[in-house]
Amino acid sequence: MGDGKCRCKKEFRLEQTVHENHKYCCKEGECFDPCKFLRNMTSNTQNSCNLQPCMSIEWGDGSNDHLETDDVEVLCLKFKNCFKEISFENVKINNISITPNDILPDHTPSIMIKPDCEICFGNIAPCKEESREVVLITRGAKAQTYIIHVYFSYKVCGTECKKAADFKLPLVAS
């Protein structure tokens, strides 16, 4: 984790729940004009915080890998700047939570992500991305789909912004 990049290519991407963040995501090699992007929004919602990085969570060691109810996996958290001519400054994850999340007899949650707060990505230049690795630990979790809630902040065009993104976390029985 020393260089701030995920060390291996991940096979799978967790699906985002219905959330605005997906419209800020671009394909490889694609980049948006921020002025044109803002013009497409209604006038009462135009502001700097409408420009935000695309967030994704990737994982997997092969086509047969699954997230299991008793498991340890490395997740790759990525933020991508899909805009030309602007940078996102001081991008960081403030908090990650998972719902629902049962408490085990030893008073710990059945699903944990470590670290789960203050994950810094620094500045993200136009049309670039930054990534960080975290560990997903599941112990005695139920086989079902959970939601990972990611709360993040950044600065763009001199404005401090706070946003959230949600991802589906499907667990299968170990």
| Contact indicator for 86, 40 with CB cutoff of 8 Å | no
Query: Domain with 146 in it: what CATH number?
Result: 2.60.40.1230
Structural domain contains residue 73:
yes
Structural domain contains residue 126:
yes
**Tens digit of pLDDT for each residue in 65-97?**
789 999 999 999 999 999 988 999 999 999 999
124 vs 85, higher pLDDT: 124
The domain of 161 spans 12-170
Question: What is the percent of the chain where pLDDT is above 90?
Answer: 60
* Residue 5 pLDDT greater than 80, yes or no: no
* Residue 119 pLDDT greater than 50, yes or no: yes
Structural domain contains residue 84:
yes
Structural domain contains residue 19:
yes
Number of folded domains in the chain?
A: 1
Structural domain contains residue 3:
no
| Contact indicator for 116, 95 with CB cutoff of 8 Å | yes
| Contact indicator for 6, 76 with CB cutoff of 8 Å | yes
